[in-house]
Amino acid sequence: MTALSRRDVLRLSGAGAAAFVASSLLPNLAAADAASTAAAIKKIIGSKTLQQGRITLELPQIAENGNTVPVGFEVQSPMIGADHVKAVHLFAEGNPEPSVASIRFSPASGRAKAATRMRLAKTQNIIAVAEMSDGSVYMAKTEVKVTIGGCGG
């Protein structure tokens, strides 16, 4: 899984002054990291291979308030009985618990698109994993810069 490489973690840890300020406000928070996020994803998809594409994430580049960050996604799919999106799982690598939401769709959804709002503790990668009805899994990853973290402390 190259998408969750060690290099990403190192790059994140040096992601600038804004991130430093945000994380220094949350000194004793045991944040999740890329490894525990990868483990959480593996729990869901098992030994299947993650493919890139088909799923797009809609996120702000910079979130001023980590308490409520809008997040949306859409998966390209006809959403019919034989070929639909079973579920989309959202993860935030830098939050105390990487799981954000698991959303199970059905053909009655018509479109595998949804939007919600989430908390982000600090600047980090957001990962969306889509499970298709044929068993294939797709992922997308986007970085969000967070000015003020939103997980209490």
Partner 1 sequence: MAKSKARVKVPKSAKKGEIFQVKTLISHKMESGQRKNKKTGAKIPRMIINNFTCTYNGDMVIDCDWFPSISANPYLAFFVKADKSGELAFKWTDDNGKTVEKTASITVN
* 67: contact with partner 1 by CB under 8 A: yes
Residue whose entry in the numeric block shows the structure tokens 């939007």: 115
Please state, in angstroms and as integers, the Cα–Cα distance from residue 51 to each residue in 27, 77, 129, 132, 143, following that order.
Answer: 36, 15, 9, 11, 18
Q: Is 36 in the site for partner 1 (CB under 8 A)?
A: no
CB under 8 Å to 109, separation ≥6 — which residues? 79, 84, 85
Site residues for partner 1, 70-109, by CB under 8 A, read 72, 79, 92, 95-97, 99-109
- Chain positions 108 to 147 lying near partner 1, rule: CB under 8 A, are 108-111, 113-120
Report helix, strand or coil for 112. strand
Identify which range of 4-12, 17-25, 68-76, 138-146 contacts partner 1 by CB under 8 A. 68-76
Interface residues toward partner 1, by CB under 8 A: 29, 67-69, 72, 79, 92, 95-97, 99-111, 113-120, 150-153
